[in-house]
């Protein structure tokens, strides 16, 4: 096999062979490029992918997403080899908080329950009491002892949304996803006014004033399930553009309009078929987490996995 081949079908076939030979599974986030989503064993949101990573009996997990997702898989399944085909695929929001910064704030705040979004490093998870994803943030906050004050990190938008939904007193870290945070209420209003017959679905990483305009607020897979079950025909989608692929594949008769066509996460678009092939051929780059970080980080993730989806 010539790895330089330009033929996507040949590359895809070779990836399939190597996945079988190595007893590997290909986990793919909903924002990945269509050609990567199309060869996934499971395409999903952060919560579904974490659950699959913790349950699979594969020996190797090839994670097509960003670094914190592969790291989460490695924390949950340390006996497996976790490959992240493009090592530099990161999450700018996860980089907005450090373990030291969180430690310092905890010290200042005193007795506080820390809920960290899965979009964080293993070190930050290790400093947290429980993790959450966009699919279960409300249930996670509701699972916290009502006597305790809550600190949510690092997404201020998800934290404010959770505060509104639960009525809990929630302090938050001032981080955000640059892609979702960039969607303005003015832009959302413009698309809504042009398509008054469409439902507006928004991701909780969007700013509060955008979420106030939304008909439905869901994680990426939450949006996919919602659309499949809805009798509605037209939807405005307030999240990263990658999700338009699974939405249109599963619902060819429905219409999907991006709330803003500029919502593209460059890190989520770094992984191509050739990267996946190279990762499987060379069994690198491997994502590992040292035990002293992994064990407390896993505690926070396990607590999250015991909480149902919202
Ligand atoms: P979900 O797919 O879990 O909703 O996450 C969105 C996201 O931004 C992942 O980076
Ligand atoms: Fe991070 Fe936002 Fe990209 Fe998701 S879409 S990986 S939260 S920067």
CB 68 within 8 A of CB 88: no
| CB-based pocket (< 6 A), ligand 2 | 66, 91-93, 119, 177-179, 240, 265, 267-268
- Phi/psi for 56 (5° steps) reads -65, 150
Task: Tell me what pLDDT residue 2 has.
Answer: 47
In CATH, which of 3.40.50.10800, 3.40.50.300, 2.60.120.260, 3.40.50.10860 is domain 183-262? 3.40.50.10800
Distance CA 63, CA 25 (A): 8
Torsion over CA: 109, 163, 138, 119 (sign):
negative
The candidate with the shortest Cα–Cα distance to 212, out of 188, 234, 232, is 188
Let me know if the fold of 94-177+293-305 is the same as that of 183-262: yes
For ligand 2, what atom is nearest to the CA of residue 119? Answer: 7
pTM: 0.96
The answer as to CATH 3.40.50.10800 being correct for domain 8-90+268-289 is: yes
- The closest residue, in CA terms, to atom 7 on ligand 1 is 46
- Which ligand has an atom closest to residue 89 CA? 2
The candidate with the shortest Cα–Cα distance to 74, out of 89, 85, 62, is 62
Instruction: Write the CATH number of the domain with boundaries 94-177+293-305.
Output: 3.40.50.10800
For ligand 1, the distance from its centroid to the CA atom of residue 6, given in whole angstroms, is: 31
- The closest residue, in CA terms, to atom 3 on ligand 2 is 265
- The closest residue, in CA terms, to atom 1 on ligand 2 is 91
Q: Give the chain's residues under pLDDT 50.
A: 1-3
- The closest residue, in CA terms, to atom 4 on ligand 2 is 91
Task: Tell me what pLDDT residue 5 has.
Answer: 65
Domain segments of the chain as ranges: 8-90+268-289, 94-177+293-305, 183-262
Is residue 36 packed enough to be buried (19+ CB in 10 Å), middle (13-18) or exposed (0-12)? buried
- Which ligand has an atom closest to residue 175 CA? 2
Q: How far apart are the first and last CA of the chain?
A: 46
| CB-based pocket (< 6 A), ligand 1 | 30, 45-47, 91, 119, 133-135, 177, 205, 219-220
- The closest residue, in CA terms, to atom 9 on ligand 1 is 46
For ligand 2, the distance from its centroid to the CA atom of residue 92, given in whole angstroms, is: 7
Task: Tell me what pLDDT residue 6 has.
Answer: 75
* C-alpha count within 13 angstroms, C-beta hemisphere, residue 184: 3
Read out DSSP for 165-233?
Answer: HH---EEE--B--HHHHT--HHHHHHHHHH-TTSEEEE-TTS-HHHHTT-SEE--HHHHHHHHHH----
Q: Which residue has the tokens 């790895």?
A: 3
- The closest residue, in CA terms, to atom 6 on ligand 2 is 91
């Amino acid at each position: 096999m010539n790895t330089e081949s330009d033929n996507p079908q040949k590359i895809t076939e070779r990836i399939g062979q190597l996945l079988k030979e190595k007893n590997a599974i290909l986990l793919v986030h909903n924002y990945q490029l269509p050609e990567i989503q199309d060869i996934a064993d499971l395409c999903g949101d952060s919560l579904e992918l974490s659950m699959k990573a913790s349950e699979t009996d594969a020996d190797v997990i090839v994670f097509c997403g960003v670094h914190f997702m592969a790291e989460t898989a490695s924390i949950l399944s340390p006996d497996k080899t976790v490959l992240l085909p493009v090592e530099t695929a990161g999450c700018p929001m996860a980089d907005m908080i450090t373990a030291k910064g969180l430690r310092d704030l905890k010290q200042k705040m005193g007795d506080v329950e820390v809920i960290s979004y899965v979009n964080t490093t293993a070190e930050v998870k290790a400093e947290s009491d429980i993790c959450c994803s966009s699919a279960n943030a409300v249930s996670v906050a509701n699972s916290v002892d009502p006597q305790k004050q809550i600190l949510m990190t690092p997404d201020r938008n998800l934290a404010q949304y959770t505060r509104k939904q639960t009525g809990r007193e929630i302090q938050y870290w001032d981080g955000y996803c640059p892609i979702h945070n960039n969607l303005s209420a003015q832009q959302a209003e413009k698309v809504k006014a042009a398509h008054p017959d469409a439902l507006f679905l928004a991701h909780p990483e969007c700013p509060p004033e955008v979420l106030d305009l939304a008909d439905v607020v869901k994680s990426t897979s939450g949006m996919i399930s919602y659309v499949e079950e809805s009798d509605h025909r037209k939807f405005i989608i307030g999240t990263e553009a990658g999700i338009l692929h699974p939405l249109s594949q599963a619902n060819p008769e429905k219409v999907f309009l991006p709330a803003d066509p500029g919502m593209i996460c460059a890190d989520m678009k770094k992984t191509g078929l050739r990267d996946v092939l190279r990762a499987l051929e060379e069994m690198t780059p491997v994502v590992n987490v040292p035990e002293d970080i992994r064990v407390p980080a896993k505690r926070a993730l396990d607590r999250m996995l015991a909480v149902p989806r919202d």
